[in-house]
Amino acid sequence: MSSQSTSFKSLEDLRAACLDLPAGSDAAASAVAKRQDSLTKPPGSLGRLETIAAWLGRWQGRDMPKLDAVKVFVFAGNHGVTAQGVSAYPSEVTVQMVANFAGGGAAINQLARIAGAGLDVIPLDLDRPTGDFTQVPAMDEQAFLAAVSAGYDAVTKDLDLVCFGEMGIGNTTPAAAISTALFGGGAEKWTGRGTGVDDAGLKRKLVAIEAGLKRHTDSLSDPLKIAAALGGRELAAIFGATLAARRNNVPVLLDGFVCTAAAAPLARLHPTGLAHTIAAHVSAEAGHRRLLEALGLPPLLDLGMRLGEGSGACLAVNIVRSALECHARMASFAEAGVSEK
C-alpha cells in the first residue's frame, strides 16, 4: 500500500478528529434493553449477551441491530527494532504469513469463515521496516499519518461489526513500549515473551523498550507522538481504523495485546474513546490483562490465545451473533403466553 496519500494532513488534524466523537444512540440502547426485559427469561439472566445486544444497538443506532456485514481487517507491518534481537522469528516471516493469509492457510482464514466474516489483509510497506525506536522515531509524522489514514480509510459506514488484527514480527515490543509510555509502571509490567523468546530475548526486549522511552522522552506527554515514536505501521493503522469505526458508528471487537495497545491512545485522547469497542479476549501475553484493566475493558474470552491475526476477535463474533439471535428471535412473555414474575 502506498504511503503517499493521507486523509490526515497533520497531527493536529488527527487530534481534532479524535476529540470529535459521536456518543452513540441512547434511544436505541434503551429500546434494546427494554425488549430484553420483555423476553422469556428472568431479567439479566443472559448476562453479557444482553449488554452486547444493547452495545450493538447503541453503536449501530438501531433498536434491532444486524450483523449482515462483518469484516476482519488484518494490518501487517515490519519493525526496525527487531535489529535488537527482540523476536524469536526473522522479519521475513511477516511477508510469508501475508502470503499464507492470501492462500487461506492461516488460523484467521478458518475463524473468519466459520464466523461468517469477510477478511481483508492490508500490508503496509513491508519492504520498508519502521525505524529502530532505540535510535530514531519508528515513524516520522508523515509516515505515521499515512499508516493511520490507511486504517481509517479501510472502515466504511456500511459495515455492521469489525474485528481488527495484526501481523508483524517483533510487534509485541512496540505494544509494550506504547503501554509503558501511556500508563507507566516500567517496562517489566508490560513486557512478555511474544512469540516465545528465551530469557535473554526477554532481557533484550526490556533493554530496547527502556532505551526507546529514554530517547523519546519529549514525546511521552502526547499519545499521538507516543504512537509515532514507539509504534509501527500496523499499530497506527489499527488506531486509524478504530477511530474511523467510531466516527462511522461501527462497533469494534478488539483482538489481543498488540491490537489493544494500538487502540489505547484513543482512550487517552478522549474519555470515552474506546466505548464502541469490546475486548474480545484476554491473551496469554503478559501485559494484556493489565492493559485491559487500565482501559476498563473486561474481556469476553480467556482461552490462553496469543496468536494475533485478529483470531480472538474473530472467535468472539460467534458470541455477538448469539447475543443478537437471542435478542431478535426469543419470544416475549406476552407472545409465548408465559406468566411473568
Sequential DSSP letters for 20-56: ------HHHHHHHHHHHHHBSS-TTTTTHHHHHHHHH
Is 92 a catalytic site residue? no
Smallest CA-to-CA distance from 335 within 35, 124, 33 is with 35
**What pLDDT is attached to residue 2?**
38
* Residue-wise burial string across 68-78, b where 16 or more C-beta atoms lie within 10 A, e elsewhere: eebbbbbbbbb
Question: One of 50, 166, 285, 309 is an active-site residue; which one?
Answer: 309
pLDDT in tens, 165-204: 999 999 999 999 999 999 999 999 999 999 899 999 999 9
Q: Whose grid coordinates read 507522538?
A: 225
Let me know: does 77 contact 138? Beta carbons within 8 Å.
no
Q: Are strands 118-123 and 277-279 parallel, antiparallel or unpaired?
A: unpaired
CB atoms within 10 A of CB 90: 11
3-state secondary structure (DSSP) of residue 279: strand
Copy the grid coordinates of residue 241.
Answer: 481504523
By CB atoms closer than 10 A (0-12, 13-18, 19+), residue 264 is buried
Tens-level pLDDT at each residue, the chain (341 residues): 334 445 899 999 999 999 999 999 999 999 999 999 999 999 999 999 999 999 999 999 999 999 999 999 999 999 999 999 999 999 999 999 999 999 999 999 999 999 999 999 999 999 999 999 999 999 999 999 999 999 999 999 999 999 999 999 999 999 999 999 999 999 999 999 998 999 999 999 999 999 999 999 999 999 999 999 999 999 999 999 999 999 999 999 999 999 999 999 999 999 999 999 999 999 999 899 999 999 999 999 999 999 999 999 999 999 999 999 999 999 999 999 999 87
State whether residue 90 is helix, strand or coil.
coil
Q: What is the pLDDT of residue 4?
A: 41
Return the residue matching grid coordinates 486523509.
7
Q: What is the pLDDT of residue 38?
A: 96
